[in-house]
Chain A
């Protein structure tokens, strides 16, 4: 970039600069002397090239002359910026999603542990209760009797009847719902 400012210095200036540059290797004193020797031009505000006007100037000047490789580079730079931005956004999203999922997993795991625990407790309580009831039933004063063949009814299954198709004549009429009598 240090080359760029040169474009904007007048040829006269460039020449004088060249002279100054040529004096560079000399000692500080010699330089100071040369400063005194040379007639000092009136102070003049030099436009300091800024990046903006520099580029504008360039684009004005090089509109037609911009080499294709440069254009490719510029395009590449622009598209890579976009890609970078998108990647960055994607990364953030993925990261957020990961954290969110981890959190949700932890919550659900906690829930699962709770449910498992409830299941254990219910099973235990249920079985203990069952045992208690059975023990109580053994006591004759409860009036419960153990099942025995005498107090059991055995029914032999009826033989399977052949399927008959229901005829519409024999369809049972649907009873109409009873209307309330009160009120």
Chain B
């Protein structure tokens, strides 16, 4: 190139000039091998082509600018809408299962169907007819609805998944299915008192659903994924662990079989005695886990809105009552532990006693005379109990009651637990009748759950355990992932004391007031209770009684269970803990024996 003189662009050899050269006449040929410079300036066609190309290029650039800069945000959004799907994978609230893995609560997706008649492509008649074939409604009514509003008509709620699918397959325009989660309680009211329910916003409102909200809620991550043309989800932006959400569920210590038989027994007894309400609690004394917690009447959590709001609290945790005679074994344990009495101490029951000007008598005066401590328990002698506790200084007695946790909550993992009620120390120590009434279980109040916790201390060798219903988060293989932290058992009595008290309580079932709870072949400790209820006007209501029975079994083994049955305000002539509550406790204990495979030891 360097050797050649400069050649300007228009002189560049064009292919067509080569071809022309061979045909062109001689005179047109020049020294450049046939290249014929037509014009020093670019010819018009070239300019035209150049101009078109440049204009085209400019146009493209302009469009590029328009698309990439001016319209970019809008287009980006549009593309995202089409390609990206905000996927909220079905992350349900954790299921709740009982100790055997029976599901007590689980999540189900449901649909709400909305109709927008202005978007219908088919006639309203047709749509109404097709829809009603799916969701069981009358086409005429639906048509009326369609004619009333133009859009946003809620046609049906809580549609099952397969119904939703069938509606989607109709491919009708103007219909909208919105997905929700609904909680299903397959066992209905069986464990409602423990499990609770969730409201329309999927928030727990009672029971474990309320108190264990943190354990039940899985963190729902909304994931944005891209979608291919046919709507299939693409794995491009799937975060790690997207598919591996945990398969854990919340396991309770409740045994639904025991719960069922307890409920059945309680229901029948309440019906028979026209009682106001009742409760049964079964506790494993070793660790405080509850095997059954039944209150009657109850509700079906699937249709909670149809029930009285007062049923949603578990009255075995929230309502205080005066335990009556069921507290006597604890008083005996206190007296034994403080050393003011011996198991063979004897007290005189004269039928009545006066403390600080107040007369005190027994419920029944069948067994008067000299009574041993065991007999005082066996015949439930109020006079004997008052004498036993009078040996203890009121300050020391009050200290013991505080040590047992009276007036405080027991710390169960269910919500809305109430603290018991106790008189102030001044009143207790200065007024002699206070200590005297406390001796036979009146004048203070506690919740049924607290009473059974105190009896569990007698059953397990003197330790106060924390009652609980939650076992922990368990995966599908049965491995426990997280367990609730429970307070360590607090020793209050010595094992020797509790063993003596249990032996005394055994006589109650063998030949005392608790004979109705006797099960042949089993050593059972028990105590009946028939207490007057405090009336709203102060003092005691003469007709309203609360009957209870607490049973501890088996006395042979070291692993013991405590059963508490309470029937509130039963009607009739023979209203005692032995006639009303003890039969309930007996059938619950029978079920417990077979379910927990407790072998008989005593040979009758």
Contact = CB atoms under 8 A, between A and B. Distances in A.
A183 interface: no
Contacts, number: 114
Interface in A16-42: 16-17, 19-22, 24, 28, 31, 35, 40, 42
B597 to A, nearest CB: 8
B235 interface: yes
Nearest to B3: A3
Contacts of B591: 146-148
Interface stretch (A63-71, A79-87, A149-157): A149-157
Interface in A124-147: 124, 127-128, 130-131, 134, 138, 146-147
A88 interface: no
B389 to A, nearest CB: 37
Contact of A35 (B30, B92, B107, B595): B30
B213 to A, nearest CB: 21
A149 B590 contact: yes
A171 B587 CA distance: 51
B4 A112 contact: no
A131 B186 contact: yes
A75 interface: no
Nearest to A38: B31
A105 B228 CA distance: 12
Contact of A117 (B103, B106, B161, B232): B161
Interface residues of B, number: 53
A78 interface: no
Contact of B108 (A106, A120, A138): A120
Given A120-B108, A121-B161, A154-B599, A19 B590 contact: no
B27 A116 contact: no
A77 interface: no
B40 A28 contact: yes
A48 interface: yes
Interface string B579-604: 00000000100110111010110000
Contact of B260 (A17, A128, A134, A152): A134
Given A28-B40, A48-B18, A123-B106, A20 B32 contact: yes
B544 to A, nearest CB: 30
Contacts of A42: 26
9 contacts: A20-B32, A24-B5, A43-B29, A106-B228, A127-B102, A127-B106, A146-B591, A148-B591, A149-B593
Interface of B: 1, 3-5, 18, 22, 26-27, 29-33, 37, 40, 90, 92, 95, 102-103, 106-109, 161, 184, 186-188, 190, 228, 232-236, 243, 260-261, 264, 519-522, 587, 590-591, 593-595, 597, 599-600
Nearest 5 Cβ contacts at the A-B interface: A20-B31, A127-B186, A106-B232, A147-B594, A105-B235
